[in-house]
Chain A
Amino acid sequence: MSLLSIRDLSISFDTPRGMLEAVRHADLEVPAGASVGIVGESGSGKTVLSRAAMGLLHGSNVRSTGTVVFDGKELTAMTRVEVRKNFGTGMAMIFQDPMTALNPVRRIGSQISEGMIVQLGMDKKKAMARSEELLSLVRIPDPGATLRKFPYQLSGGMRQRVMIAIAIACSPKLLFADEPTTALDVTVQAQILQLLGDLRRDLGMAMVLVTHDLGVVAGNTDIVAVMYAGEIVERAPTRELFASMRMPYTEALLKSIPKIDMPSGKRLQVIEGRLPDPTDRPVGCGFAARCMYVQPKCIAEHPPLIHDGDDHLYRCWFPLEKK
């Protein structure tokens, strides 16, 4: 059984411009210990989906249908207090911007130990000692001194390591990483991704990696879900997906990435146009207006999610040929 299973989840926001459908009929399973990537452009709904899966979306303007089951318990039926008990020990999250996610006026040590004191009932001294261990686990040099520092005294990469230390402090079963390396340099990105991979293996933790970069998911996930205009448009085991993309959007996304091994001065392939307006979704396929292979049927009818065996799902009337 999966650790996290999202079934037919739809999330809308009631806005002055009308209902904004951020996520539509999403299905996703995260097996225990696995790493699942969610890939998409800005506005594709990937962050809303991951926040909903954590039970972080509340408010009078949020409309959601469908279920999220985590570790045998239905998250969507829980109260906010019950969901909160789950944080740290069940799920934890690291965010994109390590500069603003940390509290600027509290020392690193107190921020890391907070979760252990609240969720695990540890005493302060023990939590602080454990915090020091965690800092060395995330490979921060001189963890003892870092405990007494404030976030502004650390670089972006170091702050993201602190965020990871906070997230893993109560040994969660599932870690959500929402664009964990987007704000960082390539060299630091490589270090952080390697660290997350090592921690995941050592602690037996599952991970959901949300990113816009197919390059980041390629080496760091077991399963990839590609989102477009609020829907999961393709989902497959990572190797299978990269070996044989069926959805024209995924292929176009891959082709638009500048690759280090391509000849220099070559023109990049682009996806013309933009995502459709989320308050006014097209009737047919969301990608039809930008798709190279568009047919009349794509504009008239919404494509269902099709299984092609090999755990590969896609949402396209005229998929690319299987390789």
Chain B
Amino acid sequence: MAGSGTAHMRDSEDVILAVKDLVVEFRISHKHTVQAVSGISFDIVKGETLAIVGESGCGKTTLGKAILQLPPPNSGEVIFDGTDLTKLSREKLRAARTSMQMVFQDPISSLDPRMTVSQLIDEPLSIWDRGNSAERAEHINKLLNDVGLDPDIVLNRRAYEFSGGQCQRISIARSLALEPRMLICDEPVSALDVSIQAQILNLLQDMKDRYGLTLVFISHNLAVVKAVSNRIMVMYLGKVCEVGTPDAIYANPAHHYTAALIDSVPIPDPTRSVPTALLQGEPPSPVNPPSGCRFRTRCPAASERCVVEEPQLREVAPGQFVACHHPRS
């Protein structure tokens, strides 16, 4: 798996973000390079939620950050609303970033501990000089109300006084302050308890509707992803394995890796049998990835061809694309 290709790209006027052949590498010594993202392409239609799924180390966070040019990719294009972000000057890029914001995994450490909630949310507004102080205060109150916090209680408190779930609400309010068009959420609920997780997932859904957002949702939990996304992209070791709608992917995973991921999710029902065909071992090092298909070292269906030839994404069912020489039927 883990191939390249562009068969899944859509030719539509509604495409808000198109990423083409993106490569991000980190040099760790004069001889070795971590190939974090190796030639990934995808697009997102306005109002869509794209979920990027994979194990730790598959490059999903790097990919999310590379969209925002944090840091800029080594090669490839990131076309947001008709503009290639990789070609923008520093100042223009800074302005372009106001319409794309990020929500991070650890809600507590991503907020400055010395700032009050009102300062935290005011910061982007004052940097971009949005309105006078009275207008800004009103906007901050509205944002806090929208994310389910009472401004009178929270405005003058600091991050350490809140629980993880409340901090994530504050982060979301802050990310919405400049009225972005796209939100990139990097594991926004994986540090939270199940009961709080559901609250935040519903909140993101509400904010998406209210603010007309397009979401990129990065997660390793397929069950969470199923609940929120319109389209799923499964990644392995810097490459795309499978792209499709949640229902198609869960009903008929075409890639062996996708199937293994689905099988690994614990099901709260003791009468279900425990999966026996689990994925063995761990992903190989991205410093020296396997030739051909990068998943072949753990794949139950690997053949000679997988060693020499890298699979390209192709359509196996309407709207479902897989990069595998021997897809599951």
Contacts and interface: CB of A to CB of B under 8 A. Distances in A.
Interface in A234-255: 238-239, 242, 252-254
A258 B267 contact: no
Contacts of B261: 186-187
Contact of B222 (A197, A216, A260): A260
Interface stretch (B18-26, B112-120, B223-231, B311-319): B223-231
A186 B56 contact: no
B194 interface: yes
B265 A41 contact: no
B45 interface: no
B266 A189 contact: yes
Interface string B271-298: 1101100111110000000000000000
A290 B269 CA distance: 25
Contact of B195 (A197, A238, A262, A270): A270
Interface string A189-212: 111011001000000000000001
B281 A141 contact: yes
B202 interface: yes
B270 A219 contact: yes
A212 B193 contact: yes
A260 B195 contact: no
B220 A186 contact: yes
B258 to A, nearest CB: 11
B263 A190 contact: yes
Nearest to B272: A219
Contacts of A41: 193-196
Contact of B268 (A141, A190, A257, A265): A257
Interface stretch (A10-18, A53-61, A153-161, A314-322): A153-161
A264 interface: yes
Among B165, B193, B202, B220, chain A packs the most CB atoms within 10 A around the CB of B193
A266 interface: yes
Contacts of A214: 194, 268
Given A186-B264, A258-B201, A264 B278 contact: no
Nearest to B193: A41
A216 B282 contact: no
Interface in A41-55: 41-42
A218 B269 contact: yes
A272 B195 CA distance: 8
B303 interface: no
A158 B57 CA distance: 14
A260 B164 CA distance: 25
A256 interface: yes
A85 B276 CA distance: 38
B6 interface: no
B163 A260 contact: no
Contact of A155 (B195, B196, B250, B282): B282
B229 A264 contact: yes
Given A157-B282, A186-B222, A215 B268 contact: yes
A125 interface: no
A267 interface: yes
Contacts of A263: 247
A213 B198 CA distance: 13
Contact of A242 (B222, B269, B275, B278): B269
B266 A219 contact: yes
A269 interface: yes
Contacts of A186: 55, 220-222, 261, 264-266
A264 to B, nearest CB: 4
Given A186-B222, A194-B278, A212-B194, A270 B202 contact: yes
Nearest to B148: A272
A148 interface: no
A136 to B, nearest CB: 14
Interface string B204-217: 01000000000000
Given A42-B193, A187-B55, A215 B198 contact: no
B56 A252 contact: no
Nearest to A241: B270
A256 to B, nearest CB: 4
B260 interface: yes
Contact of A185 (B56, B195, B227, B228): B56
7 contacts: A186-B266, A187-B264, A218-B267, A257-B268, A258-B221, A263-B247, A264-B229
Given A256-B197, A262-B226, 12 more contacts: A42-B164, A186-B266, A191-B279, A193-B266, A215-B265, A216-B266, A260-B223, A260-B262, A264-B227, A265-B228, A268-B198, A271-B198
Interface of B: 55-56, 163-165, 193-199, 201-202, 205, 220-224, 226-230, 245-247, 250, 260-272, 274-275, 278-282
